[in-house]
Amino acid sequence: MDSTSQTHPVEPTPTLRCAARCQDCSVRSIEDLTDAIRTPAGRARFREAMQAYSAGANRAATILLWTSVMQDLTDKLRVLADAGDGAATSAIAVVDAARVSQDVRAMQNFENGLLDRARGEFEFLTAREAEELRRLGDDRNLCAHPSFQSDSDDPFEISAEQVRAYARTVVEAVLSQPPIVGKALVERFIADTKSGSWPDEDLADFLRTRYFDRARSGVMRNIIEVAVKAAIRPPDGDNQVAGRCVAATKAATEINADLVLAVLGSVLTKWRDHMSDTDLLRAVGAIGPYKSTWEQLGSENVARVRTLLGSAAVETLIEERAFASGPPADAALAATYANAVARLSDEQLEIMVRKPYPQAQWVPRVLDVVRAVGSWRGGERAMRMVLQVSDGLSLDDVSVVAAEFLKNDQIHRAGDVPQLMENLITQTIRLPGARDLWNATLDAYAGGQDPPLEDDDWYSYSEARAALHR
């Protein structure tokens, strides 16, 4: 830390301007720290401490930093009490009673136990942060009560470097943190998965702003663990909650993929020897696309899953949401999974393509339906399914649909197909080469009509052609 003091000597001004981050010690500047504080009162107390520090009064700065910690943690408890938290309400009742009666000893007892309660009962602090703040408290006592030292000891001095380190800890661990406890965030997540306000879009942003931006890594881990477990073993068998937890786990990988994989490893290590058939099928749909899932579950469970995918009734696979996330990230399982998809009946497939599952997995089976069209109603149904999976189509897939459209009048003369074709072109025109393919297809279709169709004829596909030029 000596290099820091040489690079950034203490300035005798209240603002103490430093670099945005000291390169030698990675200490954030006083201005950056002040800007990170959430409340005006917290910023005012911190500025007072830094004014003492910039004037060289390190002992006074240490005392004021400790005061900031105690006051901010108490303020957080008051916010929780106002929100109805029972433990916080009891704690604040003690504080208020002591203030009214001027009971100094009661206030001292409250402050003496506040760090432990903030760490254990309310989860405001991590173990490391609580320990660092406890050292600040010890130094504060030496600064405030020099008579506690032995006469043989040298007078207590605290360095500017140590004050800067304490200032960073105070802001990052306490003053910049919101007044919400880890347990409350986890409980909020559980409640949200059961509520009518759970969003189906922009889920990563929702998770980030509602939970993760307010949480420490330990709380984030707990939320992801709840999601993983509920995706496999949904509470009360609630498939809606399970689906939301699958989506939340996937969205969380956009925020912190390493943490999600670490949680998967932790959960599956504990569950590996106790997975039921239902658990394994649920795991396929919940966390199957992660390679680490199958590494953690081990070869014995991979073999069990392969058997289940091959032998379980399709109705069971659907009921246990085995198809919810697409093919598993294991080559042998992926092949068996594809065979399971192929066993879907046309009626089951028609239902599955409407679900918010990965669309590409249905494409081969949908193309089979298109090739087998033998009636106008079947043509309409096939084209509706193609439209449902349009985001999963490749150019080769579009070529198959186009070829079947041309040669099968049970498709191109089906009542709803002109409108469906217009929508399909709109959805697939983004594919490189798709515009030329559809142009050629519609030209060939028009050229094959004898007599030629007028543009206002329903089966002229004029609206579909117009979609190519929008």
How would you write the pLDDT of the chain (470 residues) with one tens digit per residue?
333 333 333 333 333 333 333 333 334 688 899 999 989 999 999 999 999 999 999 999 999 999 999 999 999 999 888 877 788 899 999 999 999 999 999 999 999 999 999 888 887 888 889 999 999 999 999 998 876 565 556 678 899 999 999 999 999 999 998 776 667 788 889 999 999 999 988 999 999 988 887 666 678 898 999 999 999 999 999 999 999 999 999 999 999 999 999 999 999 999 999 999 999 999 999 999 999 999 999 999 999 999 999 999 999 999 999 999 999 999 999 999 999 999 999 999 999 999 999 999 999 999 999 999 999 999 999 999 999 999 999 999 999 999 999 999 999 999 999 999 999 999 999 999 999 999 999 999 999 988 888 988 999 999 999 999 88
Residue 146 forms part of a structural domain: yes
Residue 301 forms part of a structural domain: no
Residue 377 forms part of a structural domain: yes
Residue 326 forms part of a structural domain: no
- Nearest CA among 229, 438, 233 for reference residue 321: 233
Q: List helix spans (H) across 182-238.
A: 182-193, 203-210, 217-232
Residue 245 forms part of a structural domain: no
CA Rg value for the chain: 32
Residue 207 forms part of a structural domain: no
Helices and strands per DSSP (H, E), number in the chain: 24, 0
* Final residue of a structural domain among 178, 200, 220: 178
**Residue 153 has what pLDDT?**
63
**Residue 4 has what pLDDT?**
38
**Residue 14 has what pLDDT?**
37
**Residue 29 has what pLDDT?**
86
Sign of the CA dihedral with 447 first, then 449, 451, and 452 last: negative
- Nearest CA among 299, 282, 298, 292 for reference residue 229: 282
- The Cα–Cα gap between 126 and 131 comes to 9
* Final residue of a structural domain among 131, 152, 178: 178
* Final residue of a structural domain among 178, 201, 234: 178
Residue 37 forms part of a structural domain: yes
Contacts of 180 (CB under 8 A, 6+ apart): 80, 214
Domain around 395: 352-470
Number of structural domains the chain divides into: 2
Residue 289 forms part of a structural domain: no
**Residue 9 has what pLDDT?**
37
